[in-house]
Amino acid sequence: MGLSGGLMNYVYDYVKDKGIITSLPRTSILAKATRIHASKKALGLKSDPTSMSPFKTKNRLLRMLLTFLTAIHYFVAKVGPISCVIDANYLSSYSHGIIDSTCGCGSGRVFLNHGVLVVGYGEEKGIEYWLVKNSWGADWGDKGYFKLKKDDKNTCGIATDSSYLLV
């Protein structure tokens, strides 16, 4: 059985069963222009997010349940890309710009249907956004990436189910 559906649990189960390729060089997907070095104080965190509820470790998978957006920000800045499951029903026509909550996508767990990778964040014309890598190839979106508004509306469910695989 191969990878199914683009959801993280399938990927992690596959890696657990089949193993991973260890001979490839480890590279960062984050573009320097989008990486912002953030401190716990700057993010308003009192301690390392991994020591706070709702974080737990299970099968070497650090999983952010009921995720805080500031925690995703912290992990992207300090650890690297974070896997997220989103509502991708409205992404097929994306080509550029920043997607916001008016696009029609759902924010609750029931809408989640596609795995993506949050690789960075930035600001454009005063609007903060997540830089997200999709799996649909470089011909889709903005060379395979899209920007999702970074706000408390949980646009497309970006903060509903996030995880980071520890290898």
The model's confidence at residue 12, banded by pLDDT at 50, 70 and 90, is low
Q: 31-165 maps to which CATH number?
A: 3.90.70.10
Among 48, 61, 25, CA closest to 163:
61
* Residue boundaries of the structural domains of the chain: 31-165
Strand partners, 58: 61
Structure tokens at 143: 């060379």
pTM here is 0.67
Contact status, residue 75 vs residue 81, Cβ threshold 8 Å:
no
What does the pLDDT look like over 120-143, one tens digit per residue?
999 999 999 999 999 999 999 999
Between residues 61 and 33, the one the model is more confident about: 61
Active site residues: 114, 134
Q: Whole-angstrom Cα distance, residue 24 to residue 131?
A: 24
Task: Write out pLDDT tens, residues 15-28.
Answer: 667 766 554 443 33
